[in-house]
């Protein structure tokens, strides 16, 4: 019982009279010092039987014992579950790993490289740009003669959550040469041209390759919402040039594009980003689009002037 607290009885407390029990010099009965916190501790010490614990708690067993930390082995399944969920979300919305199965993008990419593909920007309406290296689903008929190894259950699961490259989907990786609205062509012994501008592709195509001598093409007008793609190893790439007889005339719908390959992640000695070659930034490549902009601005600026003049003529006629 704490000093000064009521006992809990409704009746008055019994108080010792002058002839009652003897008291010590302090007015307390001998032996009361230990329980009230005065004088030397009893034989059991401050936390012994009948005494208070040092932190003020009682010793009747009602104090909660400190909780033991949860075992690591009990937390491990929870941690694994969270990691798998995060991996699935990252694969679905952020980045996904893809393996390079062929030599069609040499020397930019080598067989066996692992690339990370940006899947976030397409969610915000971004579309492929000229010069980007993109991964896209087979538009139909591009890989029908290509055998795909059958993955085991573990490979399927790891590829599903994004910890391994896609195991079953038939995907391709190429470089975007032209986008919707562009006119692209390549004559034998000549360069690839986009909207009449020649591309200097020597910085990224396979050494010793020509631009398109194995399969000249064009001119081809790329429909809106589609892209024209080619491999960097031009003489070893079955790209848009070789599928002009299929629906789309060799072009690929932007809806089939998984995303842009932004970095080589594996092997470690090949870590590198995949930037857009400077030839795709040359002035005049957007000439067709640029010519349309001044015309549209001119029309927009002339409309207010036409309306103002019509209103003035109408007012003059009314006044006359």
Q: Which residue has the tokens 């069609």?
A: 104
272-298: burial string, b at 16+ Cβ within 10 Å, e else = eebebbebbeeeebbeeeeeeeeeeee
Q: Considering the domain boundaries, does residue 253 fall inside one?
A: yes
45: pLDDT strictly greater than 50: no
- List, for residues 46-55, the tens digit of each pLDDT value: 444 444 444 4
* Low-confidence winner among 16-20, 94-98, 276-280 (lowest mean pLDDT): 16-20
Task: Report yes or no on 93 lying in a domain.
Answer: yes
- The per-residue pLDDT for 115 is 93
- Number of folded domains that form the chain: 1
Q: For residue 120, tell me if it sits in a domain.
A: yes
Maximum Cα interatomic distance, the chain, rounded to a whole number of Å = 131
Give a yes or no: residue 31 inside a domain. Answer: no
Residue 126: active-site member: no
Residue 104 known to be catalytic:
yes
- β-bridge pairing 272-273 and 226-230: unpaired
Structural domain span for residue 222: 77-162+170-288
Is the pLDDT reported for residue 17 higher than 50? no
- Percent of the chain at pLDDT > 70 equals 59
**What is the spatial distance between Cα 151 and Cα 59, in angstroms, rounded to a whole number?**
65
For the domain that residue 94 is a member of, what is the CATH number? Answer: 2.10.109.10
- Cα separation, 261 vs 108, in Å, equals 12
Per-residue pLDDT tens over the stretch 190-246: 999 999 999 999 999 999 999 999 999 989 999 999 999 999 999 999 999 999 999
- Residue 88 forms part of a structural domain: yes
Q: Is residue 243 assigned to a domain?
A: yes
Whether residue 155 is predicted with pLDDT greater than 70 in this model: the reply is no
Contacts of 67 (CB under 8 A, 6+ apart): none
Q: What residue ranges in the chain does DSSP mark as E strands?
A: 95-99, 114-118, 133-137, 171-179, 183-186, 192-194, 197-198, 217-221, 226-230, 252-253, 257-266, 272-273
Which of 104, 159, 166, 237 is labelled catalytic?
A: 104
3-class secondary structure for 207-265? CCCCCCCCCCEEEEECCCCEEEEECCCHHHCCCHHHHCCCCCCCCEEHHHEEEEEEEEE
Residue 189 within a domain = yes
- What mean pLDDT value characterizes the chain? 75
Percent of the chain surpassing pLDDT 90 = 43
Residue-wise pLDDT for 94-150, tens only, equals 788 888 989 999 999 999 999 999 988 877 778 999 999 999 999 988 987 665 656
216 domain-assigned: yes
Catalytic residue among 91, 159, 166, 174: 174
Between residues 295 and 138, the one the model is more confident about: 138
Alpha carbon separation from 310 to 75, 263, 297, 304, 316 (Å, rounded): 79, 59, 21, 10, 10
């Amino acid at each position: 019982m704490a000093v000064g607290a009521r006992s809990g009885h409704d009746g008055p407390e019994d108080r010792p009279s002058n002839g009652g029990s003897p008291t010590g010099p302090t007015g307390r009965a001998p032996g009361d010092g230990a329980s009230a916190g005065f004088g030397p501790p009893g034989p059991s010490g401050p936390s012994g039987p009948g005494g208070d614990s040092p932190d003020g708690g009682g010793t009747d067993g009602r104090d909660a014992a400190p909780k033991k930390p949860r075992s690591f082995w009990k937390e491990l399944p929870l941690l694994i579950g969270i990691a798998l969920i995060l991996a699935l979300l990252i694969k679905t919305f952020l980045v996904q790993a893809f393996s390079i199965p062929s030599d069609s993008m040499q020397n930019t990419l080598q067989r066996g490289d692992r690339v990370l593909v940006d899947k976030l920007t397409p969610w915000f309406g971004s579309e492929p740009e000229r010069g980007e290296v993109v991964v896209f689903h087979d538009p139909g008929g591009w890989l029908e003669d290509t055998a795909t190894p059958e993955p085991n259950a573990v490979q399927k699961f790891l590829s599903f959550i994004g910890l391994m490259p896609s195991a079953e989907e038939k995907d391709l990786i190429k470089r975007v040469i032209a986008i919707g609205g562009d006119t692209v062509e390549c004559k034998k012994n000549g360069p690839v041209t986009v909207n009449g501008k020649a591309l200097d592709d020597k910085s990224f195509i396979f050494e010793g390759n020509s631009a398109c001598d194995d399969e000249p093409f064009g001119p081809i007008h790329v429909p809106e919402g589609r892209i024209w793609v080619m491999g960097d190893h031009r003489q070893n790439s079955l790209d848009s040039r070789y599928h002009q007889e299929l629906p789309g005339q060799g072009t690929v719908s932007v809806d089939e594009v998984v995303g842009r390959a932004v970095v080589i992640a594996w092997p470690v000695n090949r870590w590198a980003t995949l930037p857009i070659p400077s030839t795709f930034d040359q002035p005049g490549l957007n000439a067709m689009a640029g010519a349309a902009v001044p015309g549209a601005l001119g029309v927009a600026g002339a409309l207010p002037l036409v309306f103002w003049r019509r209103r003035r003529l109408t007012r003059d006629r009314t006044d006359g």
